[in-house]
Structure 1
Amino acid sequence: MTELLRDIRAYLRADFKLGLYLATALWVGLLITINYQFRVENGLIDWQPYSPWRPVWYFGMYTTAYYGAFWLWSMFHNRRDIWRNRWFWLHTLVALIAYSYYAGFIAYSDWAQARFPDFGLYVYVYKILANVHSLFTIVLPLGLYYLLIDKSANGFYGMQPKRKGLLVYATLLALMVPIILYASFQPDFLQSYPTYRDTSAHTLLNVPEWVTALGYELAYGWDFVPTELLFRGFLVIGLSRILQQNVPTSGISWSNLSKPGPVLPMIVWYATIHFGRPVGETVSSLFGGYILGVLALSTRSIWGGLFIHIGIAWLMEAAAFWQKM
């Protein structure tokens, strides 16, 4: 744990600039204000759920947020060279296109409706597919990119399990328990959670309801795997190799996080994927995403982030179930 904390301090010393962090806060604050004031996610985009333009709208929103934050980062760290780096553009555009397509992809709705005409079963299957289609829309594209273009001896963007930092991750998850319990008493929380809803699918399938609930929760938990893979693995661990190029060494190895990393721009984009959630969840994602990003750089693994992310998600589901019993 001491080593991990030392790495985090080294990263903060390298990356933190008061002007940069204030400018980034203003930028993300503007994005959040525009979204919730003008209902960009829950209005403009969601009002046309089957439009083929949905991935394009998401792409526009995500690229604006991400490259705007990266521009600030590059100015304050005097890294204008990254805008001339074709590998930077290729790497980030692969991520933006894949996630935008994932966010706007809805074709599984027609597939589920055609095969499960009963409404209750259709809704259940629809929600399962909404959580697992990321296997094809995110994991597959990133896997092909890794195998064909970006294969590294360090492995597939932090997917290797490592023991480093497990105590810190467990502590962070434990600290979230009282916060989640408090949140579970708030009306807006109970409007969003649990994400599982009784659709009578268990009756139609002639199984106990806990079976359909478990199936849904497993699919719901899976959906955080590609999220961590892309944001903490691909955009932090993977992109850090590109940011090292053309940077003079200072005698301190990168493994100790002694150079600025791509965490700050990542969390701005990460916040935008929460725009359909309560505003408090969007704001908290900035802090959670930052911590997980720094820890991913330190450990070179996303498994700790998966432990926290899935753990929090299932704790929120459990708290909401408990409130509605």
Structure 2
Amino acid sequence: MFKKTKELILNTWKNANQSATVHQVKNPEIDIKVILILIYTAVGLTVVKYFGSPACFLSAITQNSSDFQKGFYTYFFSSTMGNFHRLLWWISTIVIIYLVIPIGIIRLGFKEKVREYGFCFANVKNDYPLYLTMLIIMIPIVFIASSTKGFQAIYPIFKPEKNHLFPLFFLWQMAYLVQFIAVEFFFRGFMIHGIKNRFGAYAVFVSTIPYCMIHFGKTFEETIAAIIAGIILGTLSLKSRSIFLGVIIHYSVAITMDLFSLWRKGFFS
């Protein structure tokens, strides 16, 4: 199994490098598309960092007291639903920056099809055993990690009241899934498939750097795991030309993390 997986990864990287070499020979000029994608990546991460929370947005738009400021503060910080509203703001920012705008850039700017950037189900049937293997490996790791104080301090991201999982926790999980579609599309679709003709297999490693950085602030172990996940999921996206099995494995691990954390805290007892 290990040997076959190693061969699959190395062959995927080799094929990507060969395709990139052919493309560069045919197109030796400066690739404006690649430059735009990398600049947008930097800008997008900056916007999510500084405007991905209502507090940052509020401090940026005004320093003076106003009716809008008071209403905004009440909605996101003083109301009983404030935490839920803040999380939805965060997800909305991610969906706009990581999904909606990149799709607009691809369709209107590059005049290309979104499915060429992994937003399709190509080869999903062929590659799902690899993702199942990853899930089987990850679940015991997550279970062990869920016992640590650092893990329990962060997860679940949305902390429901005990015995009140419905409906907010289920609504949150639906929004959380959309967030993962946006994240996978941005890092494993828009980035990798947008720059692979210039970087070849190295596009996977380029995309892994900002993907690792968005995990800063989480536990050390999770941030290191993000590097490994970025390389593996990036390679599989490069092979299958689809992000959706990555979405499935990413979300499956995330909801497992939430459920294990809730179980550790006695939500199901």
Class of the TM-score when normalised by the shorter of the 2 chains: 0.7 to 0.9
- Residue in structure 1 matched with residue 145 of structure 2 by the alignment: 183
- Residue in structure 2 matched with residue 96 of structure 1 by the alignment: 42
- Residue in structure 2 matched with residue 62 of structure 1 by the alignment: none
Of 279, 287, 294, which residue of structure 1 is paired with 2:228? Answer: 287
Q: 2:168 and 2:47 mapped to 1: Cα distance? A: 28
In structure 1, what residue type is equivalent to 2:263?
W
Deviation at 1:182, TM superposition (A): 0.6
- Residue in structure 1 matched with residue 100 of structure 2 by the alignment: 140
Q: 2:244 and 2:209 mapped to 1: Cα distance? A: 22
Aligned length: 241
The two structures have a TM-score, normalised by structure 2, of 0.78
Deviation at 1:321, TM superposition (A): 0.6
Return 176-185 or 136-145, whichever deviates more: 136-145
Per-residue deviation, residues 237-291 of structure 1 (Å, max 9, x unmatched): 22113x17xxxxxxxxxxxxxx534111211221111111111111111111100
Segments of 5+ residues of structure 2 without an aligned counterpart are: 18-26, 59-70
In structure 1, what residue type is equivalent to 2:138?
M
Query: Contact 2:91–2:175 at 8 Å: present in 1 too?
Result: yes
Distance 1:106 1:308, change over 3 A: closer
Query: Contact 1:184–1:190 at 8 Å: present in 2 too?
Result: yes
In structure 2, what residue type is equivalent to 1:264?
F
Q: 1:214 and 1:192 mapped to 2: Cα distance? A: 18
Query: Contact 1:4–1:165 at 8 Å: present in 2 too?
Result: no
Query: Contact 1:112–1:122 at 8 Å: present in 2 too?
Result: no
Please give the residue correspondences for 1:3-152 in structure 2 after superposition, counting only pairs within 5 Å.
6-12=7-13, 84-106=30-52, 108=54, 113-115=73-75, 118-152=78-112
Q: 1:123 and 1:281 mapped to 2: Cα distance? A: 23
Please give the residue correspondences for 1:188-199 in structure 2 after superposition, counting only pairs within 5 Å.
188-198=150-160
Q: 1:220 and 1:229 mapped to 2: Cα distance? A: 14
Deviation at 1:7, TM superposition (A): 4.2
Deviation at 1:161, TM superposition (A): 1.5
Distance 1:183 1:232, change over 3 A: same
Deviation at 1:190, TM superposition (A): 0.9
Segments of 5+ residues of structure 1 without an aligned counterpart are: 17-80, 203-207, 245-258
Q: 1:88 and 1:219 mapped to 2: Cα distance? A: 30
Query: Contact 1:169–1:304 at 8 Å: present in 2 too?
Result: yes
Taking only aligned residues, the RMSD between alpha carbons, in angstroms, comes to 3.2
Per-residue deviation, residues 134-162 of structure 1 (Å, max 9, x unmatched): 22233221011111222335725211023
- Residue in structure 1 matched with residue 119 of structure 2 by the alignment: 159
Of 236, 240, 243, which residue of structure 2 is paired with 1:302? Answer: 243
Corresponding residue SS for 2:118: coil
